[in-house]
Amino acid sequence: MSANPASVSEPDDGAEARRLQTLYSHAVLDTAPEPVFDEITQLASLWLDMPIALLSLVDANRQWFKSRVGVEVNEMPREVSFCSVAIERPQELLLVPDATQDPRFRDNALVTGEPGIRFYAGAPLLMPDGQTLGALCVIDRRPREFGPRERETLSLLARQVVTRLELRRERAALQQAINRYQTLFDNALDGVLLTRPGGEVLSANAAACAMMGLSPDQVRELGREQVLDMDDPRLGPLLEIRQRQGRVRGEVRMRRGDGSVFEAELTSTIDRDVDGELMVSIVFRDISNRIAWQHQLQEQSDLLRNLAENVPGVIYQFRLYPDGRSCFPFASQGMWACYEVTPEQVRQDASLVFTRLHPDDLQHVADSIQTSAQTLQPWHCEYRVLLPQQGERWRRGDAQPKRLPDGSTLWHGFISDVTERKEAEAHTFQLAYYDPLTSLPNRALLQDRVAQALALARRSRQYGAIMFIDLDNFKQINDARGHAVGDLLLTGVAQRLQMMLRAEDTVARLGGDEFVLLVNELGADVDAGARAALAVAEKVRAALDEPHQLDDFRYTSTGSIGISLFPKAGQNIGDLMREADTAMYRAKAAGRNRIAFFEHTMQQEVEDRLALEHELKEALTGTQLCLHVQSQVDPTGRVVAGEALLRWQHPVRGLLAPMRFIPVAEETGLIQPVGDWVIAEACRTLARMRERGLRQSLSVNVSPRQFRSEDFVPRVQAILQESGAPAQQLVFEVTEGLFIQEWEHVLQRIAELVMLGIRFSIDDFGTGYSSLKYLQRLPLVEIKIDRSFVQDTPHDASDTGIVRSILSMAHHLGLEVVAEGVENQAQADFLLQQQCDRLQGYLYGQPQPIEEWLASLQAGRSPV
């Protein structure tokens, strides 16, 4: 029956389609009543003492009752169907003791109106394939209890319904098969006789009667001895084989009604019928014409063979069947020279030839064959083969197709060796479009690819970039060490550039020491494209900066890189090449080993970023980096810990916060030495704190890139040993993004660090990859609620609810909680009321230099 529409979940389209397919396959909808099902619903009503019992099948938009007790209607809309809810959980019985008290059904029209449903119990009809067709349900107009015995009874009856439905479908399928086989027997093109071993003919199909010129009654009257030529010497051996093996196939003579004989190909088997008696089947066809054709074909084949043996290449027939099978019905002896297979090996199956095709050309050849088969246009194709003895060779095939009556396609054609011509063409193409030293595309081929890239960029609305690269000190190396070393250096640079780019990008050499990179699909807007282009250029610059080992000497040749983005309005190939060339000379003029954009604003960003990177390297070697600490207090206001925060006291730019320079450190790999400096400084501070009797812990932020470096654990261990810091007071703060990739590897590394005594905290909790998986498995001590959730508490209901949930979950898991960004007393009061373990924020003090923080701790006052 029905549920409130709001209570019925929307089914998955694919799952619902599979369920309906199973329902329709049973062909039971809208059929007449059947006693076998009516008995089950009557038993359900009787045994369970229910006024209404229904066998309900849930269709796409309705429920239809195959059998019913207590109601007159045959169907109802699905949107009000209780059974639609029942089938959502096929493994469970849906029980509604009182529909008026159930929020899913209390507003349902069948509850508020007729028939006034109060009690409902429905057992899903779960089919063997896992699909549910509906439910067997019982209904009462008053509330009811439904104990385990009643549930089992209803489930048992539902399983009986499933069994009856399956038997019904199997019987229908069996009858359909019988009808189909009878149709095949009556309409088979081959003659079919069913006989007894003694020769009695039981039946003969229409084809058999037509071939023998007899009616079915005449065939039965004559018997097997009169329709077979018993004088045929081939018949006796065939009968003996059939007697031994139960089956035989061969050729014999048969008699027509007028006494004439004809050649027939037959297959005969001995089997037992349903009564256990032996029965013989004879399937035959008249092959008189075929034998005549075979003689004629043999004469023609002999003529063709004599001709083919004296022609270079392969004369052949190739046949493709509708089911995808293929063969060479005929091939001259040149098949061996072309494919290193014999004609006999591929006469029935052409697959051996296809194994000889070059893997890169196999699909092209297959597609061209299919196109020719579909259009019946001549087949012309040039392709490579890989032969065991000859190696890689080129072949050309030409053939004319025709459609055969069975739907297959037959080609008559010729295959020749075109290796010498293709090698000459390839050599000419290589000379025209590739650099002879590095084998990279030259200017001509590059311009063609730039034209394609411009067209693609305009269609896809994705920006690309062209980069001109000039080696800064190549001339000095070439003059000092000679052209041989110079050529080796150019080849090495070409290899490095090729290894760095994607397959769809292009590396070209224009001549001398000038290279060009064409990079596609860098971003959907100018800013994104510029950032991506800069990242590629940085990698190229770093790769060029690596020394080359040539002839036992190490050479370094940096590169100046000019970049121009495309597409721009009215921009053509010449404009783009000229802009990148101009930008490259700008990079050289700026001091070499630089990157320059043609666009002024982008160039300013590049120069600023490179300057910041260079200055950060200098800062690592000096005293510009420093640590500030922000206190963490317990509920009594006592300072129990601090978070170390990196600052950069730049001599020109002033005091820089991490957000100004950490992204540059991440992109350039400087995050590792910067991170090591922070950990080392924190450890030295902890060692000093232990000497002064201070037991507060100190937290340090660790970036994912720093954490994932291969030697991170040994470096941390070395810092602890060198500083003598108490590892138990050191806390590593990591973000949730660390756990998105290589989860098991991250877990192992954290375990190794915990073994050293270091504790772990999840920073900015709730803003990233929040999962109970890592909270349960990781050896954590605390989580930190992100300041974005704290700042609007306790006035914002949503953030307040999130904070409560985090605190409840963390305490349940035995974790401490630190709240960041506490700036006013209302926030503090709320957090303390929720039993937050520690508070951190401007309400308790701003970050201060380490020395000031330590002094305030030693003085016994809270740092401010």
Q: 5 pLDDT exceeds 90?
A: no
Whether 305 has a pLDDT exceeding 80, the answer reads: no
Per-residue model confidence as pLDDT tens digits over 45-104: 999 999 999 999 999 999 999 999 999 899 999 988 899 999 989 999 999 999 999 999
- Full-model pTM: 0.41
Give mean pLDDT, residues 255-265.
88
Q: Which long-range contacts (CB under 8 A, 24 or more apart) does 70-79 make?
A: 70/45, 70/139, 71/115, 76/1, 76/2, 76/110, 77/2, 79/2, 79/5, 79/8
The CA-atom distances, in angstroms, between 814 and each of 174, 455, 781 are 65, 60, 8
- The pLDDT tens digits for 546-581 are 887 777 677 777 888 999 998 887 778 888 888 888
C-beta neighbour count of 174 within 10 angstroms: 10
Based on its alpha-carbon atoms, the radius of gyration of the chain, rounded to whole angstroms, reads 43
Cα distance between residue 296 and residue 285, in whole Å: 20
Give the pLDDT of residue 413: 93
pLDDT at 11 over 70: no
pLDDT digits (tens, 9 = 90+) for 626-679: 999 999 999 999 999 999 999 988 888 888 888 888 887 887 778 889 999 999
Q: Which residue has the tokens 């138990």?
A: 728
pLDDT digits 0-9 by tens, 765-802:
876 555 666 677 788 899 998 888 898 899 888 889 88
What is the rounded average pLDDT of the residues 332-347?
Answer: 92
**Total Cβ atoms within 10 A of residue 459:** 9
SS3 readout for 435-462: CCCCCCECHHHHHHHHHHHHHHHHHHCC
Give kind and range of the element (H or E) at residue 554: strand 553-555
Instruction: Please state, in angstroms and rounded to a whole number, the distance separating the CA atoms of residues 741 and 718.
Output: 27
pLDDT of residue 769: 55
Cis omega (within 30 of 0) for bond into 567: yes
> Residue 400: enclosing H or E segment and its boundaries?
strand 391-403
- Split at pLDDT 50, 70, 90, the class of 704 is confident
C-beta of residue 562 within 8 angstroms of C-beta of residue 598:
yes
Region 118-140 average pLDDT: 94
Residue type, 171: R
Mean pLDDT of 715-736: 93
DSSP 229: -
* Per-residue pLDDT at 250 exceeds 60: yes
**Side chain identity at residue 95, one-letter code:** L
Read off the amino acid at residue 187: N
What average pLDDT does this structure show over 587-612? 75
Q: Please name every residue paired with 368 in a beta bridge, in sequence order, or none if there are none.
A: none
For residue 394, count other CB atoms closer than 10 A to its CB. Answer: 20
